[in-house]
């Protein structure tokens, strides 16, 4: 498993790229499509702290990642309701990358506690 800062960096990049793509690809773009982009930018801002294994940065990044994962449930149901395959794939990729980042954070927290 990759280090948490790397998983978070990948997740942030995917949120920015796929969220921006969703906004640009929409026939009537809504500012809400940019929410994943905002979360991706915030995660990037905390990445240096993650790399230095700063506890506060790690906990904030976990919270942001969890919020974005939960926040993507509504777009997922919307894409399913519209039968929009491309939107469904974008949202699923963002959700899976967020879930993977969460798993790496949790594993890291468990490892730190175990090593004490």
Q: What is the pLDDT of residue 30?
A: 85
For residue 1, pLDDT beyond 80: no
Q: What is the pLDDT of residue 65?
A: 98
Contact 47, 12 (CB under 8 A): yes
**3-state helix/strand/coil string of 18-72:** HHHHHHHHCCCCCHHHHHHHHHHHHHHHHHHHHHCCCHHHHHHHHHHHHHHHHHC
pTM of the model: 0.92
Per-residue pLDDT tens digits for 20-35: 999 998 888 888 889 9
Nearest to 97 by CA among 13, 38, 30, 29: 13
For residue 70, pLDDT beyond 90: yes
């Amino acid at each position: 498993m990759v280090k948490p800062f790397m998983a978070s960096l990948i997740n942030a990049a995917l949120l920015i790229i796929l969220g921006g793509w969703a906004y640009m690809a929409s026939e009537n773009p809504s500012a809400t499509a940019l929410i994943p982009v905002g979360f991706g930018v915030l995660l990037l801002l905390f990445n240096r702290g993650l790399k230095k294994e700063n506890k506060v940065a790690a906990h904030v990044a976990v919270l942001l990642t969890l919020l974005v994962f939960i926040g993507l449930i509504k777009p997922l149901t919307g894409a399913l309701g519209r039968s929009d395959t491309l939107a469904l794939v974008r949202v699923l990729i963002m959700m899976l990358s967020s879930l993977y980042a969460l798993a790496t954070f949790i594993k890291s927290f468990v490892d730190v506690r175990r090593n004490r």
